[in-house]
Chain A
Amino acid sequence: MSLQEEFAQIAREDGRAALVTVVQGPHKGEKLLVRADGSSEGTLGDPELDAEGKAAAEELVWAERSEVRGDLFVDVTNPDPRIVVFGAVEYAQHLSALARVCGWRPYVVDPRARFATPERFPDALGVVAAWPEEAFEELGAPDKATYIVILTHDPKLDDATLLIALRSDVAYIGAMGSKRAQADRRERLLAAGVPEEDQARISAPVGLDLGATNARETALSIMAELAAVRHRRAGGRLSQSKGGGRIHATADAK
């Protein structure tokens, strides 16, 4: 089986991997396949290029973008990004629906079995009635491509989720809550041994400033923030962006 076919097979199975190809220079056309666990197959024809390719692949496979690095092209395939929403509330219903429209994979978690039902969340790919630790056992551990959104308003559940999220290397942690609720949370987390600088990873209040006036718009503002974070953008208006406003998503590869 060629490395191209192996890469294709991983893509078919919604897996995560990078296929590095030399696109310029004497080793043009040589390939190296790097899997999510860091294992690799093939060679770019030169140990230095292999090391360079492997390092770039290990970074980009989690950043979830394909990119040129010198003479190498790193082609990435990855599952759709995963949102784990804590709190089986109305916002979570709309956020799940928007996530599906945007091509993300939403999951909803709430230990209250009465609220965490598949019927209430038809758009979620999974609804788990359990505490966060157990839920992550079922859904798979939080990883660098997981986005966590906390909508519970319940300090016990908030904190249980935050303590797991902050110990992981998830891409994003967002939490709903008023200034007052945030101040209380800050104190509780400090008491639980989470220093200020770690708490800075929490986006609170969650969402972009859209002036949302109902639950659907609030869900839109959360989804918009998630997309902006994923694409490393601030989330402003294109008409007011400096440099003429790049409409298309382009990363300057060179």
Chain B
Amino acid sequence: MQISPVDTQNYLLLAATLFCTGMLGVLVRRNALVVFMSIELMLNAANLTFLAAARERLDATGHLAALFVIAVAAAEAAIGLAIVIAVFRNRGTVNVEDIRTMKY
């Protein structure tokens, strides 16, 4: 039995859906941790786009970019979580609506 190859368009649609979901999460959720998770979702949507393109063009450049994104995402998660923890220790909350002291 032969599995029919999936069309690249479908990958892109999935990536777009993931991205929009992530963006929605970033914009509407109040919990900083959830906002983080949404950002990871957006990054992975971008990864998926890269990989789809790599598959379409039959070269490895896309994979390279995806690896970079994963590395950056890891670093970003480490720093972001550290910040969230520091904020929580100081203020006892991770609700982004309550953390808005850096303003005019």
On whether the two chains bind one another, the answer is no
Q: Interface of B with A (CB < 8 Å)?
A: none
